[in-house]
A and B are shown apart, each in its own frame.
Chain A
Amino acid sequence: MATIQLQGVGKIYPGGVRAVQGVDLQIAHGEFVVLVGPSGCGKSTLLRMIAGLETITEGTMRIGDQVVNDLPPQDRDIAMVFQNYALYPHMDVRTNMAFGLLRRRRFPSRLKALLNADYAAGRTKERADIDARVLNAARTLGIEHLLARKPAALSGGQRQRVAVGRAMVREPKVFLFDEPLSNLDAKLRVEMRAELRVLHRRLGATMVYVTHDQEEAMSLGDRVVVLKDGLMQQVAAPREVYGRPANRFVAGFVGTPTMNMLEGSLAAQPGRMVFTAEALQLEGFAQAWSTLGTTGPLRCVLGFRPEHVRLGTPGGAQAVVEAVEHYGDRMDVMLKIGSHRLVARTGPDVALREGASTTFSIDLQHAHLFEAGDAGTRIA
């Protein structure tokens, strides 16, 4: 079973820099897990530790039932797709894909094949198997017609497919992807994303995928691991990461445009909860929140997504429209209320003029509440 278990895994570089610490993570067989976070968060290091390209300085890592802490990459039965594809420039596509298998043949010697008929038969069959596997993978990826070319003669997307194909041919326990789409243009990236998803379903293999792009993470992963400064912030399905971010960082990191955050205090007033941020007063929170702030005003951060800000509601608060971004299917509107800035997402047909004022209201039923401070964890 190609499960991956990490227990208290950490990495301290010589010189004392902590890249990753205390990662506890269980990846089930056939699961697609995405490691996401800003650059320098340790996601690539963690992936490379799974691959065996970086040593593990703390904790235990198991692939299947085997502890792999001291196992070199060549013995871990994993395949990896690199950001820059890492295709061998001096070999054609076919050889690139078959390379790993060719180097590990049971019957490699041409000389022995000349002397021993059984050996020769084994060699021929082995070679045919490898060719079949390459062809199979190439067909799956739609790159059959490229097999005789060298990497330099391929486009970025084609190279990416070859790199994936090279991993597939090996039929490894685990696939590792290190930002494989970041060198592609936006359109192709979206296409390849879908293809990878399809591929995953088809192969049913365990895959670990690293990206800095939260959208990619959300669209690909069965589960998403959000990392920051070498620490896991949240491990959950994309829907939950979006709907119930574990802390202010995750809340801000996931979703475009980013979640609106207001720093202020929540206080219970008779029959209702009121959130005050300077001049702005908000109310109408979910029932569940009524137990909060009963012991006095609670310093906290209120978060709500742009799609929960409605514009032009009669009787709503006043705001100035600072800027409008049209996306065709929707608009993002920058609002200024006193000293606060909020982003609202609306349909494409609302008539708004930059510099004019408008009214707005917030659907606070879907709001999030975090502890005050940058690292504030979720309260409700």
Chain B
Amino acid sequence: MSRFLRGLLTVLAVALLAWSFARVGWRTFTNWRDRAAVEKELVVLHWSGEGGPEEDAIVEGALRAFEQSHPGVRVRRINPGDAGSFYTKLQTMLASGEPPDAFYVGAERVASFADMGLLEPLDARLEADARAKAPNPVELAGFYPSTVAAFRYDGKRNGQGPLYGIPKDFTTVGFYYNKDIFTKAGVPFPKDDWSWDDYLAAARAIAKTKDANGEPYIGSEFVTWPMMVRAFLRTEGAEVRGNDFDDLRLNEAQTVAALDRLRAWRQDETNTLTSGRSKLATGAAVFTTGRVGMAGPFGRWVVPEYRRIRDFDWDFAPMPRGKVNANVIATVAWSVSARSHHKDEAWELVRWLVSPDSQAANARLGLAIPTIKAVAESPAFLDASQKPHNNRGFLDPAPAAQVVDWPADPRFEQLLGGNLDRALKVGDMTVQQSIDSFMEQWKIEKESPLAKPGFPTFPWKPVAWTLSILAALVAAVLAWLAFAPRADRAATREARWGWLLASPWVIGFALFMAFPIVMSLLLSLAKWRGVSTLDTATFVGGANYLQLLAHDPRFATSLKVTLYYTLIAVPGGQALALLAAVLMNQKVRGINLFRAAWYLPSVLAGVGVSVLWRWIFDTDGGLMNAALRPLLSVVHLAPPDWFGKDAATWGAPAFAIMGFWMVGGGMMIYLAGLQSVPEELLEAARIDRLGAMNRFFRVTLPMLSPVILFNVIMSIIGSFQVFTQAFVMTAGEPGDLTRFYVLYLYNQAFEFYEMGYASAMAWILLLITLALTMLTLRGSRKLVHYEGLKR
């Protein structure tokens, strides 16, 4: 490199560094200055999943208008994206003790959030507004009553008790239908008062109709989300609970019978109902393929996606009627944080955000239905120039619709859904068996010693003191090591400079590695919900570990799933990587291109790749089965229903196969290893009259053995950390058949808010990996030859 170029680059690097520091410094300064200028700052947290940028813009507009009319109040808006990211962000904000002042809450979370004391009760404020004749009060009487009831919770059940949020929009549910397929099948379009018999007749007729290619259509997509299963049960006059969740009614004859009907439609008939085979297919997306007559039960939220359909005509019909006319609502409210420092302003903001004008603006999006009756019945919502045309189909069921409530313990919903899916989706259990399994698991949760109160507060003070003293001691020892004068002055100086230059890393390690490690160890001895500050944690001793190891069947299941995966992914992946490396070690023209091609998949981002593979493993339309079908048909076998019926056998292997696609990283290491095997050694073996196979197994492989050991250990560790793929592709479903260890850990931490339990899982994972690594190291002693490295 020329001197000029080097100088130029140095100047540029320095300039860039200076600029970035100046930029950040200036931003920090202006932020601080702006914040100092306003008296009050409100933080608002919301999401805009299906509404996308339009919803984002509407909230932004409403907030800026609020600022205009309320001088001195600034509103900072945080939109992490979809509902999932929203709840994660909310949790971290709550845990840090800096909750947003106002935020979205879905009706399904009201019980658990209210139970944790996160939400401000709003009744007193409504009364005060009424007494003071506030300018634009919230007139609850004008709201759909069931939407308001959804946000009342008395500690046992929804519908009564204090009000924890003002609903901003809602939807009832029903089926979206493909008008073109209905016409082709000669089935009349559904009416708003249709019955399950009508629904089934339509589905069966469609299943007998064939498309231009002679492939039969599928009658209907019927998702088995717990909420929708309960919606179905309600139309049959059945429920999973009595007055509250201490009184479970799952075992009642009519509940079992209704569920069994649903199971039979799905499992015993061909093409009448498809269950989502994979998470992909359970989503709303399957309808857009144009191969399904009906899809549901879905609410209004699929409309933005369906409006992009150009290939066929469609509309909406409310939930069919069974023994009774029933429907369910899904609704989201604006709530005020119980720990806000500016509750009055936050309440004023909520009032602003649920005002008729705000709701009308939102309604025009078509995404959700206003909760104020007058707005919903106004042209703002009804005068849709766009599909669906049957907007009344959403409004008319509202009086008969109730929210689907859940108990404060978020495990209930996952356990219920997972177990029922074993009957409804996988089909390896009867309805009764899946109910029994659920009841047993729920009993374990309820009877867990961890679920009972009475643990002492975590002794943070003595622990903190002890740890601080320990840390100070360690720091002192390090400092002594660094600065103690040595015999040799040059050595002293070298040591001091060494520590000085290493200090950024040492400090970083202490803050970002050592501290969290110690914290997680402490937390594994605690019960902490992770949505409040640490002082609310209680000390449970080894109860987390005991519960995990002795009582939690889902922990055992997740371990089994993970081990099964490891058993396939590690040997298979390593053999494949080695084979690929041997191929890539050939001296062929353009070999670099091939190497890059093999390596490429391992640099692609996890989520994108997972989405891609979700399509590949799709049972009916996926690439994998399209390739397998002709091969397997020779021996009269059908390709597996990877994440559906055959998930117990093929779920984890599917992830292993997906992993095989990404052997590039291991391959590169093997390739480097292969290239360091001295050519002479192989030549000597040829002269020793060894054939190619013998040369590979007797010379190359032993020389490669340290590399193989390294790769195997890394791959075992990696296989215990499978998360992204499972999270994106199956979310652990069906049942718990693809719930990998780390996914269950994630569920505990971020869905059930059991940080202590999750920390304990993390430490058990560490011990398992450590044990497996030691076992591998011990077991391979005779097989690994390090002599090749000493040269």
Contact = CB atoms under 8 A, between A and B. Distances in A.
A77 to B, nearest CB: 9
Given A84-B678, A103-B690, A103-B694, A150 B787 contact: yes
B269 interface: no
Contacts of A82: 680, 683-684
Given A89-B703, A90-B703, A100-B689, A152 B681 contact: no
Nearest to A151: B787
Interface in B687-709: 687-691, 694, 698-699, 702-703, 705
A104 B689 contact: yes
Interface in A50-100: 51-53, 72-75, 78-80, 82-84, 86-90, 99-100
Contacts of B781: none
Nearest to B683: A53
Contacts of A79: 687
A100 B683 CA distance: 12
Contacts of B341: none
Contacts of B699: 88
A28 to B, nearest CB: 22
26 contacts: A51-B683, A51-B687, A52-B686, A53-B687, A72-B686, A73-B683, A74-B688, A74-B689, A75-B689, A78-B687, A82-B684, A84-B680, A88-B699, A88-B702, A89-B703, A89-B790, A89-B791, A90-B702, A90-B705, A90-B785, A90-B787, A100-B688, A103-B689, A103-B690, A152-B787, A152-B790
Nearest to B688: A100
A78 B689 CA distance: 9
B788 A73 contact: no
B591 to A, nearest CB: 15
Interface in B661-684: 678, 680-681, 683-684
B681 A88 contact: yes
Nearest to A72: B686
B681 A86 contact: yes
A89 B789 CA distance: 9
Given A88-B681, A90-B705, A150-B787, 15 more contacts: A51-B683, A53-B687, A74-B691, A75-B689, A83-B680, A87-B684, A88-B699, A89-B787, A90-B788, A100-B689, A100-B690, A103-B689, A103-B698, A152-B790, A170-B688
Interface in A21-55: 51-53
Contact of B686 (A74, A84, A99, A170): A74
B690 A74 contact: yes
A87 B684 CA distance: 8
Contacts of A170: 688
B203 to A, nearest CB: 62
A249 B691 CA distance: 42
A86 B680 contact: yes
Do most interface residues of chain B lie in helix, strand or loop, or is the interface mixed? helix
Contacts of B680: 82-84, 86
Size bin of chain B's contact surface? 20 to 34
B381 to A, nearest CB: 77
Nearest to B680: A86
Interface string A255-296: 000000000000000000000000000000000000000000
Contacts of B688: 74, 99-100, 103, 166, 170
Interface of B: 678, 680-681, 683-691, 694, 698-699, 702-703, 705, 785, 787-788, 790-791
B686 A73 contact: yes
Contacts of B788: 89-90
Interface string A149-160: 011100000000
6 interchain residue pairs of minimum CB distance:
A100-B688, A90-B785, A89-B787, A86-B684, A86-B680, A74-B689
Contacts of A103: 688-690, 694, 698
Nearest to B691: A74
A80 B687 contact: yes
Contact of A73 (B687, B698, B785, B791): B687
A178 to B, nearest CB: 9
Contacts of A73: 683, 686-687
Contacts of A51: 683, 687
A341 B64 CA distance: 97
A206 to B, nearest CB: 15
A190 B468 CA distance: 69
Contacts of A83: 680
B687 A74 contact: yes
A209 B178 CA distance: 86
Interface in A106-153: 150-152
A72 B678 CA distance: 20
Contacts of B678: 84, 86
B785 A86 contact: no
A208 to B, nearest CB: 13
Nearest to A76: B687
Name the residue in B680, B689, B690 with the highest tally of chain A Cβ atoms < 10 Å from its Cβ.
Answer: B689
A75 B690 CA distance: 10
Name the residue in B684, B686, B785 with the highest tally of chain A Cβ atoms < 10 Å from its Cβ.
Answer: B684
A86 B690 contact: no
Name the residue in B687, B699, B788, B791 with the highest tally of chain A Cβ atoms < 10 Å from its Cβ.
Answer: B687
A170 B688 CA distance: 8
Contacts of B694: 103
A198 B684 CA distance: 24
Nearest to A170: B688
Nearest to B785: A90
A144 to B, nearest CB: 21
A99 B685 CA distance: 9
Name the residue in A74, A78, A104 with the highest tally of chain B Cβ atoms < 10 Å from its Cβ.
Answer: A74
Nearest to B681: A86
A93 to B, nearest CB: 12
Interface in A155-213: 166, 170
A89 B686 contact: no
A90 B783 CA distance: 10
B677 to A, nearest CB: 10
A173 to B, nearest CB: 12
Name the residue in B698, B785, B787 with the highest tally of chain A Cβ atoms < 10 Å from its Cβ.
Answer: B787
A86 B683 CA distance: 9
A53 B685 CA distance: 11
A99 B688 CA distance: 7
Contacts of A78: 687
Contacts of B791: 89
Contacts of A166: 688
Nearest to A83: B680
A308 B713 CA distance: 71
B256 to A, nearest CB: 60
Contacts of A80: 683-684, 687
A190 to B, nearest CB: 25
Nearest to B790: A152
B681 to A, nearest CB: 5
A146 to B, nearest CB: 15
Contacts of A75: 689
A72 B705 CA distance: 28
A100 B699 CA distance: 12
B592 to A, nearest CB: 18
